[in-house]
Amino acid sequence: MPKAGIIYNDVKPVAGRVATELKDQLTAAGWDVCVTASIGGILGYSNPDSPVCRTPVEALTPPGFDSDMEFAVVLGGDGTVLAASRQVAPCGIPLLTVNTGHMGFLTEAYLNQLPQALEQVMAGEYEIEERVMLTVKVLRGDAVLWEALCLNEMVLHREPLTSMCHFEIEIGHHAAVDIAADGVIVSTPTGSTAYSLSAGGPVITPGVPVLQLVPICPHSLASRALVFPNNEPVNIYPVNIPRLVMVVDGNGGCYVLSEDRVYLERSPYTAKFIRLQSPEFFRVLREKLGWGLPHIAKPNSVELP
């Protein structure tokens, strides 16, 4: 009996309703179906008085989800996709992402396209696009205090108010650099269209094997976004702030104290996305962010999204 999964945003009633209907449909078609909420992939915040809050990467995988699962349908927005990626990446399960949220930059289909998309996936008529992920760790000496998988970006900054921080950053075996800024972002190509884009970083197409470091509001004309190979690990040391907060993929993280360091490296796991047609990143940029539209619209020159 073939096996499929459903991961849905349990905060959105429409996603819960569709998940139930979809399970019944797949079960009737002879599939073994496992259902879980995306909240299991949400990273919790540690308490300021107890900054250690470790959940091992593999512990986020929901019961019943394993490498025998042919695919999983994700019902939600971009946040749900990010959470689902952390849940199933260790098992290598391909994700059919269906937008029930707002922008849905990472999603493949809209809700009204689900019947046709599901039929296509069940027939095996699709491609799989792999996206690089990061392993993010907070270490004190050699002890791992906290870890997570990251598809978009890691952000390190001061709270509750934004102010100047100094970071000593080592990339691979290169000489350490000092950056004074409100915070720093380390982003994958997937995350280059998220926070790092707003902070002035470049858009990077998904297939390029690089990461980028983006200072947030740097106090230097020389501190700008840096793109480097994704096989080089990154160590970040807070210099002048007793406590920083780290956020991964915009939904959770932990506190980083002055004696800690943040370590990032390319993860052995990747996020696998089902594409119903050949991946076309520029089309998504055009439809979702308006990239490449002419500054003067002419008749028949462009199809607006």
* 278 annotated ligand binder: no
Tell which residue, 91, 41, 40, 98, has the closest CA to residue 69. Answer: 91
Strands 3-8 and 71-76: parallel
SS3 78: helix
What was the pLDDT predicted at 46?
A: 59
Listed range (67-76, 114-123, 253-262) with the worst mean pLDDT: 253-262
Residue 42 has pLDDT above 80, yes or no: no
* 152 annotated ligand binder: yes
What was the pLDDT predicted at 296?
A: 62
Q: Which run of H or E residues covers position 170?
A: strand 165-171
CA 194/CA 171 separation, integer angstroms: 22
- Summarize pLDDT for 168-206 with one digit per residue, the tens: 999 999 999 999 999 999 999 999 999 999 999 999 999
Residue at 102: amino acid letter: H
What was the pLDDT predicted at 47?
A: 60
Residue 23 has pLDDT above 90, yes or no: yes
What was the pLDDT predicted at 44?
A: 64
CA 192/CA 222 separation, integer angstroms: 20
User: Which whole-number Å values give the CA distances from 133 to 19, 67, 149, 222, in the listed order?
Assistant: 27, 18, 7, 28
* 187 annotated ligand binder: no
Residue 153 has pLDDT above 60, yes or no: yes
Neighbour count for residue 280 (Cβ, 10 Å):
11
* 198 annotated ligand binder: yes
Residue 159 has pLDDT above 80, yes or no: no
**Range among 49-53, 217-221, 242-246, 262-266 with highest mean pLDDT value:** 262-266
The pLDDT confidence band at residue 242, using thresholds 50, 70 and 90, is confident
Tally of CA atoms within 13 A in the half-sphere of 221 that contains its CB: 0
Q: What is the mean pLDDT of residues 154-169?
A: 86
- Summarize pLDDT for 84-138 with one digit per residue, the tens: 999 999 999 999 999 997 888 999 999 999 999 999 999 999 999 999 999 999 9
Catalytic residue of the set 10, 24, 78, 142: 78
Strands 252-257 and 243-248: antiparallel
* 194 annotated ligand binder: yes
What was the pLDDT predicted at 149?
A: 93
SS3 19: helix
* 251 annotated ligand binder: yes
Tally of CA atoms within 13 A in the half-sphere of 258 that contains its CB: 6
Strands 226-229 and 210-216: antiparallel
The pLDDT confidence band at residue 305, using thresholds 50, 70 and 90, is very low
Q: Is 142 a catalytic residue?
A: no
The pLDDT confidence band at residue 234, using thresholds 50, 70 and 90, is very high
